[in-house]
Amino acid sequence: MTHEVVLIPGDGIGPEITRAAQRVVAAAGVDISWHEVQAGAGVIDQYGAPLPDHVIDAIRTYGVALKGPITTPVGSGFRSVNVALRHAFNLYACVRPCASMPGDGSRYDNVDLVIIRENSEDLYAGIEFDADSVGAGAIADTVKKQTGKELGPQTAISIKPISRAASERIVRYAFEYARANGRKKVTAVHKANIMKCTDGLYLHVARDVAAEYPDIAFEDKIVDAACMGLVMHPEDFDVLVLPNLYGDIVSDLSAGLIGGLGMAPGANIGDGCAIFEATHGSAPDIAGQDVANPTAEILSACMLLDHLGETTAAARIRAAVRVTLSSGASVTQDVRRALTGSYDGAVGTTQFTDEVIDALSRMVV
Ligand code: NAD
């Protein structure tokens, strides 16, 4: 059977790592017809926008995509194409498994957790403005009422919407994920001691939903304490469910527990649509040098294969990645540095991918 999948190579290291993932998927014998479309700063001149309509149309048509990272200008410029895609298709659940692999170069060998990040609201809603623009409006009045302070000039405001509906949807997703994947515990992460209204609502909803799943243990942790706990005892965690911004930050922290961003895959899931992409960004510092670690994107492609029902191919690829990493002989510079303190002896993106494909040819699961 031929699967129809949209491919967005992205920019920075995106084209290098998506190419690696495509090669590995092809070597696993899965027949995919890739519909390649481009998005990001590089297409603005041609199409007038970083996320052209035909990209949206392609994803709507096929319902599934493999994506490379796309650069977002810092502090100004267009809004994130990555966030816009999640909003366009209501991809409310970001699923990011973090599991140790032998030879990943991490300080830990016992990490096996899954981040479930709410993708649709929170400070990522992008509702921001200068206080000057609201003047004596309702927000300024509320600030005065709650804090006794006037909003001064040169004050910027960001709004953090947290809804009962989106909180319930993501916490329920986390519990259903735990059940479906043999997981034992869900940890809801929040800052409800300080943000009593927004994170308070999220926590109340999490507790209510947890009561419907007596077979899965539940706990909640304040985000700062959760970060310390993850670094000290990652084995204490199983499934974590977090509002958008904490989910973003804790995802990168957790990637650091398993060898770094080059190792951490992910998926953005909605009802009827899914986009698979690594946790990391476009890594402009190493783009175009054939040094990026493609593991995160290859493992994201494995999540895509599971989604398509190609579970045997996904398992074979994961096994081939494990074998390649555990040999320690052919690893990219990020892992090499973590293992030895130096880049010396590292292989490039292409050679690492060749080694995975070679291991795949011997892999029966
Ligand atoms: P980044 O994740 O791109 O890079 C952080 C560090 O990790 C860098 O040192 C980089 O070299 C390293 N790194 C990342 N991926 C790697 C890989 N596969 N192999 C080896 N090393 C790797 O984060 P950043 O530098 O903060 O962001 C760069 C750009 O990416 C920004 O414009 C940001 O907005 C964007 N971004 C996009 C996405 C996405 O497309 N989903 C996600 C995060 C960031």
Mutate to test the pocket of ligand 1, among 258, 282, 339 (most ligand atoms within 8 A of CB): 282
Can 271 be counted among the known catalytic residues? no
Please tell me the residue having the least CA distance from ligand 1 atom 27.
281
Tell me what the mean pLDDT of segment 342-362 comes to: 97
Which pLDDT score is estimated for 195? 96
Going from the Cα of 283 to the center of ligand 1, the distance in angstroms, rounded, reads: 4
Indicate the pLDDT class of residue 32, thresholds 50, 70 and 90.
very high
Please tell me the residue having the least CA distance from ligand 1 atom 38.
281
Can 124 be counted among the known catalytic residues? yes
Helices (H), 106-243: 138-147, 164-180, 198-210, 223-232
Can 208 be counted among the known catalytic residues? no
Tell me what the mean pLDDT of segment 298-322 comes to: 98
On whether the CB atoms of residues 220 and 190 are closer than 8 A, the answer is: yes
Burial class of 352 by CB neighbour count within 10 A (0 to 12, 13 to 18, 19+): buried
Can 31 be counted among the known catalytic residues? no
Catalytic residue (choose from 124, 173, 202, 246):
124
Beta strands in 199-331 (DSSP E): 217-222, 239-242, 267-269, 274-276
The model's pLDDT over 139-182, given as tens digits with 9 standing for 90+, comes to: 888 888 888 888 877 888 899 999 999 999 999 999 999 999 99
Indicate the pLDDT class of residue 136, thresholds 50, 70 and 90.
low
Which pLDDT score is estimated for 48? 93
Domains of the chain: 1-101+262-365 (3.40.718.10), 112-120+163-256 (3.40.50.2300), 123-159 (no CATH)
Tell me what the mean pLDDT of segment 116-138 comes to: 85
Tell me what the mean pLDDT of segment 295-323 comes to: 98
Please tell me the residue having the least CA distance from ligand 1 atom 8.
283
The model's pLDDT over 238-250, given as tens digits with 9 standing for 90+, comes to: 999 999 999 999 9
DSSP 138-150: HHHHHHHHHHS--
Q: Does the structure show a pLDDT above 90 at 132?
A: no
Q: Considering the entire predicted model, what is its pTM? A: 0.96
Which pLDDT score is estimated for 359? 97
Indicate the pLDDT class of residue 135, thresholds 50, 70 and 90.
low
Indicate the pairing of strand 267-269 with strand 239-242: unpaired
